[in-house]
């Protein structure tokens, strides 16, 4: 695994059916699936990460993108501070800065 020692990524299912096709390109289906199915798996993930028997430090806050609005409900359930970012603004700024490279 590349990256920092002791750092790893954890994932949850997106709620879309398994497929060999790139179904993530159906944005409406992806948004609907994540809105309707991701809260439970995300709460389960937070509970696993917060389990003191794992030796991991406790979760102190949830930082999320606006697209994953279900994470706010999960943070509220665990009484955790919550920050929601709108990353589209940052991406738009970067695109503006590199516009000349795309011409």
Is 13 part of a structural domain of the chain? no
pLDDT of residue 26 exceeding 60: yes
Our separate counts of H helices and E strands in the chain read 5, 2
Structure tokens at 20: 């060999």
What is the number of domains present in the chain?
A: 1
**Range of 70's domain?**
23-102
Q: Which SS3 state, helix, strand or coil, does residue 98 take?
A: coil
Task: Report DSSP state, residue 19.
Answer: -
pLDDT per position as a tens digit, 34-87: 889 999 999 999 998 889 898 888 889 999 988 888 999 999 998 999 999 887
């Amino acid at each position: 695994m590349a990256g920092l020692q002791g750092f790893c990524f954890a994932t949850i299912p997106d709620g879309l059916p398994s497929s060999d096709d790139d179904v993530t390109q159906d944005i409406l289906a992806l948004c609907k699936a994540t809105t309707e199915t991701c809260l439970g798996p995300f709460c389960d993930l937070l509970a696993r990460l917060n389990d003191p028997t794992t030796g991991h430090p406790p979760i102190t806050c949830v930082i999320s993108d606006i697209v994953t609005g279900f994470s706010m409900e999960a943070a509220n359930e665990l009484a955790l501070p919550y920050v929601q970012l709108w990353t589209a603004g940052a991406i738009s700024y970067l695109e503006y800065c590199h516009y000349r490279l795309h011409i």
